[in-house]
Structure 1
Amino acid sequence: MTCRRRVVDMEFALAMIGIILMVFEAELYINQKISKLGFYSLMLKCLISLSTVFLLIFICAEYYVSAKIRALDSNIQSVLSVMTFRQWMYLVLELVVCSIHPFPGNIKFEYSSTQGVIHSVSIDAILSIVMLGRLYLVCHFAVVHSNMVTDTFIYSIGMISKTKINTTFVIKALISKRPGFLLIVVMVTTVIVNTWAYRACELYFDRNKYKKNSIFESLWIITMVFLSSDHGDVLPESYCGRFVAVMTAVMGLITSSLLIAIIAQQIEHTRSEKHVFAFASRVQTSCKKKSAAADAIKSFFKLTVLIKSGKAGYREISRLKDKVKQSLKMMRTTREEMMDIYDDTVGVVDVAEVTWRVEQRVSVLESRFNSLEEKIDLILSKVER
């Protein structure tokens, strides 16, 4: 596990170095400080390519170390035999994603804007945006350094129960444990990354509109799109910028849904609060039921007396009959409300807890019964002697 952690650390470091160099080179080009065929641009791109080569090597090494760990756990000598088809596909996919980066040189293509304006744009505009896909290694880095993976006790329990302590397991555990923190990190990261991506798309297309696509203007439009409250005052001129805006809107919808779910979970009653509320509701409903029953009996008694006396009018008799019907209806309604309160209060966890307590009590009674039976047998044997 220590060897794998070191390999993942090197992957993360190389990925971050490559992204930082790419952003630095792109910013120099956007600000018209360097050209794509200049010395500094070629030097930075060569460093990016060199870091990419080492990154691909360490990705292969990480898969080899993981396969070796699985082979040792399964008592298998061949490392390749534990590699499934899905893992080979994941390896190829990671190599393809991490191999994309701006190459040394200046390859251009004709690009048309949404208004039909044609510009000659460097292919680095697309390669730089796609290179940001390496940020998935941040999740991989966080998972490897999580205490659920580093703790040998938890890892042993996972092996015994045949549960995979992988990235999915750790992320689900983090969502359950600290949902608010994780959501804030995702939202801030999405806004920052997409702000730079949108700005790069627009300025690669037309570097003369630097003020229009400044960092603050880009942050404004990305934030508005992320919050689904775009005013339409700023529109992307490139299809690349539109694509980034669409992806930002999708991420905004997903995180907004998660935020609503987290808020609903936080304002939900705890188990103790739920039981207190249910008890108070049962008391109030029981009082309403008793009051309705008393009204029904009282109205029925008055109605019987008036009918036997023969002095009551038709209107008074109808009023008392309606009051009896309303009281009976209230009794049925309160009975249904009482059943709903019981259904909402008793959950699966409560049933499991009661079952566990009953089993514990039964086991204690069984042990006492066995000891009592042994004592009775001993007394009978002594009496027979």
Structure 2
Amino acid sequence: MFYFSSSNLIPSTLIVFARVYLLCRFIMFHSHLFLDASSRSIGYLNQVSMDYFFLIKAYLQQWPIRCLTTFCIIVFLVGSWCLRACDYTSTNEHISMLDSMWLFIETFTTVGYGDIIPSTYCGRSIAAIIGLFGLLSTALLISVLIQKLLLNRWEKYVHNFVLNIQLEKERKIQAANIIKFSFQIWCMKKKNTSVCSISYFRAQRRLFQSIDLLLQIKQEQRKLIDSCVDQIDLISVQRNTSVETYEIKEQFKIMKVKMDNMEEKLVDMNMNINNIINDIQKTLNMLLNKVSK
């Protein structure tokens, strides 16, 4: 009778954990991103919804270790209790909390030693859900580790600068070797050294190796220059180009207005000059007529 009554209570007790959504609502309604009117206005203008998923992604970006640790602890406690409530031993008693924690760790990490297995359908369902949460947490952990291990913008600049200095030294060394081995080959030709001699072949081989290394170093330097340009630099260059293009367009408009004004003034001056010439011509004609009379 005890087993029957406790099994009937399991669904109702598991449903209680659905109230965890209140924690999500608490996080959402107490977040400065959600409460700040300016942030919501900026999000609305950029067609970004300030919902719970946006807040979770923002917090994961800002505090990844803290968020993952809190998530894993909550899932660990809830999952362990659910496994204890849903699974039974051979004597129809609940498994101990330590055994349920160990079963949770086995399932969450997808190890599955097999020493403890869920014996009920409810326990198996909970174990399957825990396995899915484990895969999700592993993916999040890997992404956080990759983000932490990658060099940031300024670290990348410093690293590339140091590598560029080393490559520049190697380039100068190989350039000096090219000059040295070329001079050796020239001296051998002046001394009428046989082309088939070992010394000539050795100098020629070293010359070709130095040329090949010099080309490789130049290629590595080009790769460093390309790697220094990231998305932020491209966005800033694009923004600056857009601003300069807009300024040039505005200057062209101003110049066009000035040229139109100058053209109108030139037309007026031309008309005035023509009128003056006509007046002078009339005056001269009148004077000539008077003189002729």
Residue 159 of structure 1 aligns with an amino acid whose one-letter code is: Y
Aligned equivalent of 1:347: 230
Which has the bigger relative contact order, CA under 8 A and spacing at least 6?
1
Name the one with the larger helix percent: 2
Greater mean deviation of Cα atoms: 217-226 or 133-142: 133-142
Aligned equivalent of 1:231: 113
Secondary structure of 1:282's counterpart equals: helix
Distance 2:190 2:183 in 1: 11
Shift in CA distance, 165/207, structure 1 to aligned 2, threshold 3 Å = farther
Aligned equivalent of 1:155: 40
Aligned ranges for residues 111-190 of structure 1 at < 5 Å? 122-190=7-75
Equivalent residue for 2:76, pick from 182, 191, 203: 191
Q: Deviations over 1:143-163 (max 9, x none)?
A: 122111111222233334443
Shift in CA distance, 123/307, structure 1 to aligned 2, threshold 3 Å = farther
Indicate the structure (1 or 2) with the bigger Cα radius of gyration. Answer: 2
Shift in CA distance, 154/306, structure 1 to aligned 2, threshold 3 Å = same
Aligned equivalent of 1:301: 183
Aligned ranges for residues 1-385 of structure 1 at < 5 Å? 122-203=7-88, 208-210=92-94, 213-312=95-194, 314-357=197-240
TM-score by length of 2: 0.74
> How far apart are 1:254 and its partner, in Å?
1.9
**What value does the CA root-mean-square deviation take over the aligned residues?**
3.3
Q: Deviations over 1:11-54 (max 9, x none)?
A: xxxxxxxxxxxxxxxxxx9xx6xx87xxxxxxxxxxxxxxxxxx
Secondary structure of 2:72's counterpart equals: helix
Distance 2:12 2:61 in 1: 36
> How far apart are 1:358 and its partner, in Å?
6.0
Shift in CA distance, 301/214, structure 1 to aligned 2, threshold 3 Å = same
Distance 2:204 2:18 in 1: 75
Shift in CA distance, 228/122, structure 1 to aligned 2, threshold 3 Å = closer
> How far apart are 1:270 and its partner, in Å?
2.3
> How far apart are 1:361 and its partner, in Å?
7.3
> How far apart are 1:284 and its partner, in Å?
1.0
Q: Deviations over 1:159-201 (max 9, x none)?
A: 3444321122222211222221111111111111110111111
> How far apart are 1:208 and its partner, in Å?
3.6
> How far apart are 1:364 and its partner, in Å?
8.7
Q: Gapped runs of 5+ residues in structure 1?
A: 1-28, 37-105, 107-120, 375-385
Distance 2:148 2:156 in 1: 14
Q: Gapped runs of 5+ residues in structure 2?
A: 259-293
Identity level (%): 25
> How far apart are 1:207 and its partner, in Å?
6.0
Distance 1:306 1:236 in 2: 85
Distance 1:364 1:277 in 2: 36
Residue 179 of structure 1 aligns with an amino acid whose one-letter code is: P
TM-score by length of 1: 0.58
Residue 225 of structure 2 aligns with an amino acid whose one-letter code is: Y
Q: Deviations over 1:306-352 (max 9, x none)?
A: 13423355222222222122112111211221121112111120122
